[in-house]
């Protein structure tokens, strides 16, 4: 298979230059909705004022159900654990895994670089309910089961800058750099999409993975697209 690659320098290190404090200063993102409206989000870490008075010590953080009874409800995050299998820290040795600060830095750089895409790999209903501001939706099953979703798969590849030559080989020279995520560190949807992209030859240096996904994003107090949080 004739696949051509364009070398990209290590993106994570360059993204984090000057990123100190980005969780508090925030990143402004404009999102285009399905109704052709624009919503502005300031992605930031939201810490209620009352929470800043809670001392950081073992008793306050880890008592009982992970919080001392004295900790205000506004300072707690809750999760529902049902099914799913915890993912490893690295899917591949040569694939970069991002944390929240790297994601914020990526989003900030994305505002002036059309070759960077934040990809929510969950199905549409999940995306519409809530996602990270600035993300686009490309459901993982379009890639994992590409023979069943041929039209959606080919359309998605064109959006990602991937073309085919006259002989039908994929050309990745203009492929965009993707940062993929799903519901959390137990979610298999973004890993499935990454595996599928690698199967067709997508350059690994153009793939990044946010393992923590929506669970870690919300747990860190970062902005989502839930309507109650939209800043118009």
Look up the CATH number of domain 11-229.
Answer: 3.40.250.10
More confident residue, 192 or 52: 192
**Separation of alpha carbons 113 and 127, rounded Å:** 23
Backbone angles phi and psi of 126, in degrees to 5: -65, -45
Whether the pLDDT of residue 33 is over 90: the answer is no
Q: Which two tokens stand for residue 124?
A: 């549409």
pTM of the model: 0.81
Backbone angles phi and psi of 157, in degrees to 5: -60, -40
Whether the pLDDT of residue 199 is over 60: the answer is yes
**Separation of alpha carbons 17 and 196, rounded Å:** 31
Note the pLDDT of residue 16: 53
Beta strands across the sheet bearing 116-120: 96-98, 207-210, 177-181, 116-120, 136-137
Dihedral of the alpha carbons of 117, 139, 91, 82, in degrees to the nearest 10: 130
DSSP run (H or E) holding 74: none
In the block, residue with structure tokens 């008075």: 53
Residue 213 makes CB contacts below 8 A (sequence gap 6+) with: 181, 182, 183, 184, 185, 187, 190
Radius of gyration of the chain (CA): 19
Whether the pLDDT of residue 1 is over 50: the answer is no
pLDDT digits (tens, 9 = 90+) for 128-179: 999 999 999 999 999 999 999 999 999 999 999 999 888 889 999 999 999 9
pLDDT digits (tens, 9 = 90+) for 71-98: 998 888 877 666 678 899 999 989 999 9
Q: Please give the average per-residue pLDDT across 21-30, as a whole number.
A: 88
In the block, residue with structure tokens 């707690």: 76
Note the pLDDT of residue 18: 55
Taking the domains of the chain in order of start, what are their residue ranges? 11-229
Report the mean per-residue pLDDT for the chain: 86
Cα 112 to Cα 50, 73, 106, 116: the distances in Å are 36, 38, 11, 9
Q: Are 168 and 76 in contact (CB under 8 A)?
A: no
């Amino acid at each position: 298979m004739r696949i051509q690659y364009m070398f990209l320098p290590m993106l994570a290190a360059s993204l984090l230059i000057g990123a100190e404090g980005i969780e508090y200063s925030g990143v402004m993102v404009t999102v285009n909705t399905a109704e052709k409206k624009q919503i502005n989000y300031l992605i930031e870490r939201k810490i209620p004022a009352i929470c800043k008075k809670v001392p950081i010590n073992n008793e306050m953080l880890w008592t009982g159900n992970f919080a001392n009874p004295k900790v205000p409800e506004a300072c707690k995050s809750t999760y529902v654990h049902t099914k799913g299998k915890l993912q490893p820290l690295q899917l591949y040795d040569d694939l970069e895994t991002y944390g929240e600060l790297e994601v914020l830095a990526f989003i900030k750089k994305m505002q002036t670089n059309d070759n960077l895409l934040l990809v929510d790999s969950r199905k549409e209903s999940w995306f519409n309910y809530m996602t990270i501001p600035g993300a686009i939706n490309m459901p993982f099953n379009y890639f994992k089961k590409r023979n069943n979703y041929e039209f959606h798969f080919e359309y998605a590849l064109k959006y990602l800058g991937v073309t085919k030559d006259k002989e039908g080989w994929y050309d990745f020279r203009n492929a965009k750099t993707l940062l993929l995520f799903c519901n959390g560190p137990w979610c298999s949807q973004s890993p499935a999409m990454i595996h599928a992209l690698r199967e067709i030859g997508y350059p690994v240096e153009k793939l990044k993975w946010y393992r923590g996904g929506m669970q870690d994003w919300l747990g860190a107090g970062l902005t989502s697209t839930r309507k109650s949080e939209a800043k118009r």
